[in-house]
Structure 1
Amino acid sequence: MVGAERNLPYDRTAVSKGLMSGSDTIDEIGLAFPGELDDLDLILGHTAVSLDVERRRVTLDDGTALGFEVLFIATGSAAVWPASIPHLQGVHTLRTADDSMALCADLSDAKRVVVVGGGFIGAEVAAGIKSADVDVTMIVAGTVPLERALGREFGEEWAGVHREHGIDVRCGEYVASLSAEFDRVSAVVLSDGTSIDADVVVLGIGARPVTDWLHGSGLTLSDGVVCDENLMAAPGIYAIGDVAKWPHPKFGQLLRVEHWTNAHEQGTAAARHYLGVGGPFENVPYVWTDQFGYRIQVYGKTTAADLIHRVPSANPSVPRIVLYGSGSRLMAALGVDDPRSLLPLRRLIAQPDSWEHALSLVGS
């Protein structure tokens, strides 16, 4: 097992949660301990730089060449850092445990934080930081937070939740430049010329699959490693997790899913297929986020929807259930603090004629 990080495998969901806040340590979120991995040859702190499919060989950054019979590519994704944003002290991305611990250390003295990006990471980080006595501004290039992932209506409602908790949400703006004092960020300058003072800036504007090292390998690359329905990119070569793009049997299109549960399930599915006991991978994508005491859970593919049905909760500004459909099919279901209602909906997702059935389950 080759890994770019020096840490042993750990629960990545904690990166934007307990590890960032300091309530968890890297040891507490570990998925394996040294003694449990004695049967593996671990090469940590090194990256793969090339793949020779014909010779069945992976070359590492130190020149080491590793031969293989079967290869599992799980290189994940890397945070996007725009070329226009300088690398200053106090400016962070959040993908790894080291990123999270560095941000946690910087936040200990911060009073003014700017989060750039209104997707899952940006919204979750902003909510987590605001739980301390810190002024937080969230910059959203789109119309509302979470619009691309969950739709405009839900995004408008969730922007209201953030504002109710004291976050300054700025939509329709992007970062034009950063100001600095002694190589440390001091302010964020927006596209409209507004300057926002900042001790810490967190960039949460997206991720890209780590496939640079595979150029010239002969594998098909298109926003990830293109695989078949069994997650095979070539005979004896599998891709799993954020980097894998495969034809989903239920949704009928190529998908690349950047969720922790997807990576976990694909790892198991690819190993089972290699052992001759697995079939096509057709899970229902799942993601959750905890913000301000709410838990948002989402099953399915929301971006395929042209129908949206909202079921209110006791709090009129926060829905209990949101259904996303296309034609006669339920494509996704979102729940806020209502896991019981989501379970029967999960079984309907991407099934024929499931939209009306889903409506009957949730009522109005």
Structure 2
Amino acid sequence: MVTSPVVIVGAGLGGIRVAENLRSGGYDGQIILLGAEEHPPYDRPPLSKTVLTGADDRVDLKPSEFFDESGIDLRTGSRVRAVDPGSRTVSVERGGAVEELGYGTLILATGLVARRFPGTDGVAGVHVIRTVEDALALRAAAASARRALVIGAGFIGCEVTASLHGLGVEVTLVEPTPTPLSGPLGEQIGQMVTRLHVEAGVDLRVGVGVDELLTEDGRAVGAVLSDGTRVGADVVVVGIGGYPDLDYLEGSGIALADRAVGGGIACDGVGRTSAADVYALGDCANWHDPEGNAHRVEHWTHTVDHAALVAAQLLGHPIAHQPVPYFWSDQYGLKFQMLGSPRPDDEVHVVDDDGRKFLAYYSREGLLTGVVGAGRVGKLMKARQYLLTPTPVATLLG
């Protein structure tokens, strides 16, 4: 059960949603929301899309008056440096001063740190996208750039590539696997993503990595690829994923999950950690699914679902059945969507493909595991019902 004060570390999507759910669920005790950034809670998916292109800079998750009206003590610019479950305190650095803050219930929602290309500290012209400042800095650089190199063709790399292309920048996209998005979706669907980039005029280099960034006067000007070729660039974007922000837990005794299952903070199926009255959610948390399997998922909707489950657990409310996982991405005017938990080695059944838009089912041992589509929003969402219970994929293939 929830005990006051509730201290939430991380003022992003997960942090604000669990605070909101606690309030709407009837909790009227003290809530302190600590954010390392100076910004109030904001949404990250638009950073690589509308913020980067300049189409829309609005990212705040709540209006400024929400926090006072909801009685949520938001403290931005407050980075937690240590957690001590024994004394039930967190050490918070703010404005150069450090204070010890006591908690009754502690919720950890610190998200990810963008992974940077080795050896690029202090090198100008090399960008990642994780914060508002990152997106605005890349947008400013793109305004005067003719050529861009994007390293990594995961979701962020593909989104950034599409956005830069829309700004009129020539993009070279480099990916060591055989296709973009082959890691999460497999090569067959990756080939469909490939054709979108190629048809847009992107210089896509797959099956190769980046051996070395080339610099002049401390600024990146291109790269040497693993096949020996050289690529010039006015701006370089690193989209090679991230890792959980967990340095502040060193010495806390709070258990971490093994890297083999995704790392992060080890939790049970409702977010409880190894420490009493300490919970974790979102990208930094490794939860057990209903079958007892440990996994860490970096999806927006997964974080929202986590926040609802943690709040329900703390309030003693019935725990609803965990919803069907869902993820989306926007590229070249198409909405990519994924339902369920498909694996790249699942069997893929393409049921709709017009050369641009597509819909595919994934199956494992004859059962439907996921649905992936681009530009097929209605058809994809109608398939959600089949992921609520074990469904033979043959019944959907006709």
Q: Does 1:147 align with 2:185?
A: no
For 1:1-364, what aligned pairs fall within 5 Å after superposition? 1-25=33-57, 28-38=58-68, 39-61=71-93, 62-222=97-257, 223-233=263-273, 234-249=275-290, 252-279=292-319, 282-303=322-343, 306-313=346-353, 315=354, 317-318=355-356, 320-349=358-387, 351-360=389-398
Query: Following TM superposition, by how much is the alpha carbon of 1:240 offset from its aligned partner in structure 2, in angstroms?
Result: 1.0
Equivalent AA in structure 2 for residue 158 of structure 1: V
Query: Following TM superposition, by how much is the alpha carbon of 1:334 offset from its aligned partner in structure 2, in angstroms?
Result: 0.7
Equivalent AA in structure 2 for residue 30 of structure 1: D
Distance 1:286 1:297 in 2: 7
Q: Assess, with a 3 A threshold, how the Cα gap between structure 1 residues 285 and 349 changes in structure 2: closer, same or farther.
A: same
1:219-270 CA-to-partner distances (Å, cap 9, x unmatched) read 21121111111111133211111011111115x5212110111112211221
Equivalent AA in structure 2 for residue 331 of structure 1: T
Distance 2:230 2:373 in 1: 37
For structure 2, the 5+ residue unaligned runs are 1-32, 258-262
Q: Assess, with a 3 A threshold, how the Cα gap between structure 1 residues 305 and 191 changes in structure 2: closer, same or farther.
A: closer
Q: Assess, with a 3 A threshold, how the Cα gap between structure 1 residues 126 and 295 changes in structure 2: closer, same or farther.
A: same
Greater Cα offset, 9-18 or 334-343: 334-343
Q: Assess, with a 3 A threshold, how the Cα gap between structure 1 residues 332 and 262 changes in structure 2: closer, same or farther.
A: same
Query: Following TM superposition, by how much is the alpha carbon of 1:167 offset from its aligned partner in structure 2, in angstroms?
Result: 0.2
Equivalent AA in structure 2 for residue 260 of structure 1: W
Distance 1:187 1:321 in 2: 37
8 Å contact 1:115–1:136 — kept in the other structure? yes
Greater Cα offset, 33-42 or 142-151: 33-42
Greater Cα offset, 320-329 or 201-210: 320-329
8 Å contact 2:215–2:221 — kept in the other structure? yes
The secondary structure found in structure 2 opposite 1:133 is coil
The secondary structure found in structure 1 opposite 2:73 is coil
Backbone CA RMSD of aligned residues: 1.7
Equivalent AA in structure 2 for residue 228 of structure 1: D
Equivalent pairs counted in the alignment come to 355
TM-score by length of 1: 0.93
For structure 1, the 5+ residue unaligned runs are none
Equivalent AA in structure 1 for residue 331 of structure 2: Q
1:163-210 CA-to-partner distances (Å, cap 9, x unmatched) read 110000001111111222222211112122221111110000111111
1:311-354 CA-to-partner distances (Å, cap 9, x unmatched) read 133x2x34521111111321111122222222232222263244
Identity across matched positions, percent: 35
8 Å contact 2:188–2:348 — kept in the other structure? no
The secondary structure found in structure 2 opposite 1:302 is coil
1:92-146 CA-to-partner distances (Å, cap 9, x unmatched) read 0111111111111111111100000010000111011101221100000111110
Greater Cα offset, 109-118 or 41-50: 41-50
The secondary structure found in structure 1 opposite 2:350 is strand
8 Å contact 1:304–1:326 — kept in the other structure? no
Distance 1:196 1:304 in 2: 30
8 Å contact 2:185–2:344 — kept in the other structure? no
Distance 1:334 1:60 in 2: 42
Equivalent AA in structure 2 for residue 176 of structure 1: D
Equivalent AA in structure 1 for residue 286 of structure 2: K
Distance 2:278 2:383 in 1: 34
Distance 2:280 2:287 in 1: 9
8 Å contact 1:93–1:99 — kept in the other structure? yes
TM-score by length of 2: 0.85
8 Å contact 1:311–1:319 — kept in the other structure? no
RCO comparison, higher one (Cα < 8 Å, 6+):
2
